[in-house]
Structure 1
Amino acid sequence: MHITIVMLVDISGESGQNLYSRQIANALSRIDGVQLTIICPTPSNDPPEVLSSDNVTPEYITEKRRRDPAWHISAQPEILRKLRKIQKNNNIDGIVCSLKVSLLTPPFYSYSNDIPQILLVEGLMEKTISRMSPFIGASLLARIIATINAKNSTYTFAAYEEAKEWIQSRGNIADDSIEIFHHGVDTNQFSPVPRSAARERIHEPIDDEDFVITFVGSFKQYHCLEPLLEAIDRLDEDVKLLLVGDGPMLDKTKSLAHDLNIDSYFPGFIDHNQVNIYISASDLAYGVIDPDHWGSPMKVFEYLSCGVPVIATKSTELEFIGTHDLGELINDSSPDSIRSAIEVLIDLPIEERNQMGNRGREYSIENRTWDTLAENIVKKIGEYHD
């Protein structure tokens, strides 16, 4: 089976949407009998390993320019030329696309050539665009692109319930042509490291008896790091913070941690292949997001896969954390709510926290792997041709 993925993100990037696309490609490349071609912007960093796999062929378009309408327009004829080239040489069995504002050419090409398009919907694109884009009409354009893809896709996987309802409303998608597949995790990459060994390997002044809370991700407002610091400032217990990553709120977060005299460490950007060591060094991991921000936090699944209890924002998609006792869910991102959740987990005996972490690891392996999504994609393409 020959599958073509059309990616409109930097496959070498480290933000959530970059990692999502890369993990899908990795999982598809691991399936026996699948030949994969990836159409994507020229990577801005070192190309990831998946692009050098024996069964993967990259087809590059112009390097992406963020928030540049001209790039989105110029990408369309490039994508069309690549699709024609691939179809001529290989006969494409299926096209896989993650919904982006530039996703215009693939749905028309797949429809006109009787090729099934599998659509992946990570979030509420219209709302995200309306928040972030300074361009008049951007939200309307996002709605049009979403509608075109919804109407022309053979099958759709949405990351969570609200995203499913939104994309269904755009294309009147039948219930038997869409399903929810929450963000997954590579459980081999995100595997536990013994806590004491992990603390030695990260080279931070953290002792075995310290209680450590870890955050991994981009330092952005919706990740609620400021209320986390304020919550820790209100704790009676001593806590150390390990805040991994970078982003626009990094300097402000460092400054607040200093002002509040919080024992915190900022190792900066860490290669994704090493992140499991930093997660494993913690007693609990922080995955709270602003309830008004739309999305399914991939980091929560990575934390759980490493066998670490989590604190996360309560949502339909994360109810399993409460059901299976894998951490604490909070209704809002206020410092008091965060503090209360931390106190619950601090007060548990370490054996109970370890058992909680083990359950999280088991749940991830059984329910949240990218390989399962990749297998489902291949199955839907196969059913189309049967």
Structure 2
Amino acid sequence: MQAWIVNHFALTPDQPGGTRHIELAKQLAEQGIDVTIVGAGQQHISDRNHVPAGRAWHRDMVQGVRFHWVATPSSSPKYSARIWNNIVFASSIAARRGLKDLPRPDVIVGTSPDLMSAFAAYLTAKVFGAPFVLEIRDIWPQSAVEIGLFSRHHPFILALSQLEKFLYRNADWIVTLLPLAHKHIIPRGGDAQRITWVPNGFTIGEQAFEVDETKRVPKNFTLMYAGSHGNANNLESLLEAARILKSRGLHETLEIKLIGDGPNKDALRQQAIEMELDFVGFEPAVPKNEIGAILSQADAFCIVFHGHSVYRHGISANKLYDYLAVGRPIIIALDSEYNPVVEASAGIAIGPDQPSALADAIQKLMQTPDDERREMGVRARTYAVKNHSMKFLGNRFAEVLQRVCDRHAESRD
């Protein structure tokens, strides 16, 4: 079987960020499914341009997986530039730029949050007479509205809302990373019988998780956050919790590390300086194939969300599953029926937007005996391996692709 996965924001393991599709592609290959990942050569999440100057496209083999990069314009923090980048990429997919020499696809997957490229994937599937699978990684455009990027009455959002409904109605199958997303999808035209939950998984493979004790400060408790510094992550709340902990005199044995990049990083760094939080450090983003060794230096992790209603459908943060896989306690601030940390008994769960409760949770973990924290970590790792290994998820994804191709063949007959 030939499968194309159209993901505007595709990344490779030597870059920071999510690498879901290359890991799935490696597992799909074991099921006899040859995958081509089609991504934008340049976009605001990537730290590079994959397409050489003057070229319309470029093709790579990365860890045995074929990547087809389409040339796109530079995408700055300005949303007008991002939208233009999306339009160019989607147009290129619809025109099958550089794709015409590849084997004919048996199925095409279009993945959100870029609904325009998902629509282009749908059109391409129609050209080939192949089934179209829509993958919902984030509920877009609702998420964009709730985190404050756009007004819900913005023309761009209104147009995307109509496109979202069209894709729900016309997809041959829908894969969602959010366990309760069907509550959003079905009222907007999705078929309840053609929705499958395939969550994110840990993508750090078998990287070493051993701590180099020579680089540790024994008296310090290290709390780590590794991920995007953007509007979706309430790191302002974490800094406020750090201020509270300092007022309690706990900062002398506490080290908080924030690893990653994002549009809010400079403002967060300045806020930490103004609050005199010298025990809070900001470090650069780390490529996915190196992050395991960094995460292993933590005593605990934190992941802090805002109280947006969109999270009632669940979460799909890549970093959470890597945290679980490393095997450390996790503090999570989230309001959702689905909470993996709670299910795994792997840490402390609090409500969102509550810096004082977050400070209490950090203090509680600092004062928890080492053996109890280790037990939390073991439960975290066990839960991740059982429910979020890429082998397990790859098999589930392969079942979806095979099912949709079988149904498509039957309907043609």
Q: TM tier, shorter chain? A: 0.7 to 0.9
Q: Tell me the SS of whatever aligns to 2:339.
A: helix
Deviations 1:230-287 (A, max 9, x none): 2233233331111111223223322333333441222222222222222211111111
Distance 1:246 1:80, change over 3 A: closer
Instruction: Tell me which residue corresponds to 2:411.
Output: none
Instruction: Tell me which residue corresponds to 1:183.
Output: 200
- Please tell me the residue identity of whatever aligns with 2:103: N
Partners of 2:158 and 2:382 lie apart in 1 by: 43
Structure 1 runs of 4+ aligned residues shifted over 4 Å read 12-15, 83-86
Instruction: Tell me which residue corresponds to 1:275.
Output: 291
Partners of 2:8 and 2:84 lie apart in 1 by: 14
Structure 1 unaligned regions, length at least 5: 201-205
Distance 1:65 1:125, change over 3 A: farther
- Does structure 1 residue 101 correspond to structure 2 residue 118? no
Instruction: Tell me which residue corresponds to 1:81.
Output: 95
Instruction: Tell me which residue corresponds to 1:28.
Output: 25
Partners of 1:337 and 1:61 lie apart in 2 by: 46
- Please tell me the residue identity of whatever aligns with 2:291: V
- Give the percent of matched residue pairs that are identical in Structure 1 and Structure 2: 19
Partners of 2:256 and 2:173 lie apart in 1 by: 43
Deviations 1:137-183 (A, max 9, x none): 11111112212221222221212245332222222312x21122332
**CA contact under 8 A between 2:226 and 2:319: conserved in structure 1?**
yes
**CA contact under 8 A between 2:260 and 2:283: conserved in structure 1?**
yes
- Please tell me the residue identity of whatever aligns with 1:79: I
Distance 1:47 1:188, change over 3 A: farther
Instruction: Tell me which residue corresponds to 2:226.
Output: 216
Partners of 2:346 and 2:260 lie apart in 1 by: 24
Partners of 1:187 and 1:243 lie apart in 2 by: 19
**CA contact under 8 A between 2:228 and 2:261: conserved in structure 1?**
yes
Instruction: Tell me which residue corresponds to 2:339.
Output: 319
Q: Tell me the SS of whatever aligns to 1:139.
A: helix
Report how far residue 4 of structure 1 moved.
0.7
Instruction: Tell me which residue corresponds to 2:71.
Output: 62
Report how far residue 311 of structure 1 moved.
0.7
Instruction: Tell me which residue corresponds to 1:117.
Output: 132
Q: Which moved more, 1:375-384 or 1:133-142?
A: 133-142
Instruction: Tell me which residue corresponds to 2:171.
Output: 153
Structure 2 unaligned regions, length at least 5: 52-58, 407-413
Q: Given the two structures, how large is their TM-score scaled by the length of structure 1?
A: 0.85
Partners of 1:239 and 1:300 lie apart in 2 by: 22
Higher-helix-fraction structure = 1
Report how far residue 221 of structure 1 moved.
4.1
1:113-262 matches, within 5 Å, as: 113-130=128-145, 131-133=148-150, 136-174=154-192, 176-188=193-205, 191=207, 193-197=209-213, 200=215, 206-235=216-245, 236=248, 237=250, 238-258=253-273, 259-262=275-278
RMSD: 3.0
Report how far residue 96 of structure 1 moved.
1.4
Q: Tell me the SS of whatever aligns to 1:29.
A: helix
Please point out which of 45, 48, 67 is paired with 1:45.
48
**CA contact under 8 A between 2:13 and 2:289: conserved in structure 1?**
no
- Please tell me the residue identity of whatever aligns with 2:184: W
Q: Tell me the SS of whatever aligns to 1:312.
A: strand
Distance 1:24 1:12, change over 3 A: closer
Deviations 1:109-129 (A, max 9, x none): 324543122221112202234
- Please tell me the residue identity of whatever aligns with 1:230: E
Report how far residue 6 of structure 1 moved.
1.0
Distance 1:322 1:192, change over 3 A: farther
Deviations 1:333-358 (A, max 9, x none): 22111012112212211011011111
Deviations 1:279-328 (A, max 9, x none): 21111111111121655322111111111111112344643422432001
**CA contact under 8 A between 1:121 and 1:159: conserved in structure 2?**
yes
Partners of 1:141 and 1:6 lie apart in 2 by: 21
Q: Tell me the SS of whatever aligns to 1:52.
A: strand
**CA contact under 8 A between 1:40 and 1:60: conserved in structure 2?**
yes
Q: Which moved more, 1:306-315 or 1:75-84?
A: 75-84
Count the aligned residue pairs: 373
Distance 1:323 1:59, change over 3 A: closer
- Please tell me the residue identity of whatever aligns with 2:334: K
Report how far residue 54 of structure 1 moved.
7.3
Partners of 2:123 and 2:84 lie apart in 1 by: 20
Partners of 1:25 and 1:193 lie apart in 2 by: 22
